[in-house]
Structure 1
Amino acid sequence: MTLEVVRLLAVGGAHMDRTARMIAPHIAGASNPVTFSEHIGGGAFNVLRGAHMRGVGPAAMMSVRGGDSVGAAVEQAIEDAGLDDFSGTFVDRATPTYTAILDTDGELITALADMALYDVGFDRQVRRIEGRSRIAAAKALLVDANLSATALIKTAELSEQPLYAMGISPAKVARLKPIAPRISVLFINRRELMALTGSDDATALSSLGFRRAVITDGANSLLTLEDGALCTHIIPASASIVDVTGAGDSLAGGTIAALITQRANTLKDAVRFGIACAQMTLQANGPVCQALANEEEFNAVHARVLAAQ
């Protein structure tokens, strides 16, 4: 099998993201009026789209989906994003969905994840001949913790190229522990850090084998861990927030793109490109900001990020 060169292959979630945003302050245990929207998202897919818009290409998505209308919408979204699609379809299964409940300020109240297919589908996908070949041929890989620990280990074994990883949730992030030494950069939030290490001390990641990491904390400053040293990065204040969905994914995509395209040589510098991507995504509806591909707009935001450090 002759394979085209893929600069970044994402192996992970690509599914329906549904967002319900409160019109009035949330009242627990009661009926709350909301506005409702749907977008095709998923951690790995969101990150890949952001990285692709920031200059990483050719790029490809490897996910699993069901043989339903949602699966067809996911397939179309991958094509529309200009990405190659190496995903597997399980015709008798439902495509995974993620539903986020946001307050009036756009902050997450809770989220509901129906991801049963991911728990079994990725194990099969990364063992198929085509799946193994695609992973081995990619110049860099991105995985998220929607894969089982078994699938993550197999994916890491198939390639010696840079491997980036997303924590996804406190419930799933521990799946990344067995491949910690293989991970080039780990992207997690504070809750995932606690779940992974039992501590809010980011340096504890080093003892698990993680060499470099980006740890976010909502609108607060974020940390990078590189060669055992921590660096704090200031997040510029946003005048308004339209939607927080996908901001962390956008940060990861921008950071990865800066590293792959060599616009930054260190994680400390690369993450500032990622912060700019996140700032732009906060101003957009849905998990992806199309303006990321506009170099003039991006450079203006990136300059503000650099000035805040």
Structure 2
Amino acid sequence: MSISNPKTPEQSANELKRKLGLGAVIALGVGTTVGSGIFSSLGEVANAAGSSLFLVLAFLIGGLLQIPANFCYAELASAFPEDGGQYVYFKEAGSRPLAFLCGWISFWATDPPSISIMALAIANYLAFFIPVHGIILRLVAVAFVLIFMMMHLRSVEGGGKFQTVITALKIIPFVLIIGIGIFFIKGELFLSSAPLATVTATGFTALMAGISATTWSFDGMAAACYMSGEIREPKKNLPKGLILTAFIVLGLYVGLTVVASGLLSVDELAASEAPIALLASKIPVIGNYAGTIVAIMAVIVVVGSLSSCIMFQPRIEYAMARDGLFFKSFGKVHPKYETP
């Protein structure tokens, strides 16, 4: 049961409306999790795990471990269906100082860099098609941030629909690579690939190292929790959406690693800075167009992640302002946000 102070009529009038459904919950979770990291994490996990079998098992076990975490988030989001995510959970646990620190770390340390990096990544991938560099590239990145900011400010419903569409578009290329690549898998390459010579850890230790390296790839599944106050029927849609998100991401990552391990040796994966591009080049049907296809994939994938982050991350600051903590840090509290 929530221990929040009761809201005044004026505070209730300022609450955001519940306009997002199950599709938006899944789109936010998948859209945030499946980002630019997957384009390099295959190589990092391969280098940590040391063998093709452990590479697949690392993503499988790493994904399965996220399901209990999503259950926890589902329980918290259902119990406290309001905007703010982790900030709200710290506050409801009775620790306003920790809630304050959580919100301000997000505002100063985590949100701006992540949004900036994604915007610059989009501009860099666009440079594959359009020769932009220097200050022009940075201006293009700023333009993407401003465009998505205005879109999500204008309409949460419109932003939710766009996020659902772009998330579907970012999944399709991965599904195509998995669906086509699975017909060209070389069983002997997957089953008999020798461990990396540079890896000293073996057995269970190597598997644990691989699982640890997948952590970043699965980060972001609980993005919808930051917008719990705008989800229709939160006690139904949030748990269902969070669990479906975990299984969708798990299926994509495991399918991708199975195909990668069946088409590339673990040495090739570990040494490559662009393992997805290398994987696409090994598939006969699309190999000649691998560079173009992966560049398009990257733009769509990172656009989806950037849109998702700009959509949900400001809800932390909104929740802090609603409770007076955001303004209190400047030494004053706006009267309308003063808690009774």
Give the TM-score category using the shorter length. Answer: under 0.3
In the superposition, the TM-score normalised over structure 1's length comes to 0.25
Higher strand share: 1
More relative contact order, 1 or 2 (CA 8 Å, 6+ apart):
2
- Normalized against structure 2, the TM-score is what? 0.24
Select the structure of larger CA radius of gyration.
2
More helix by share: 2
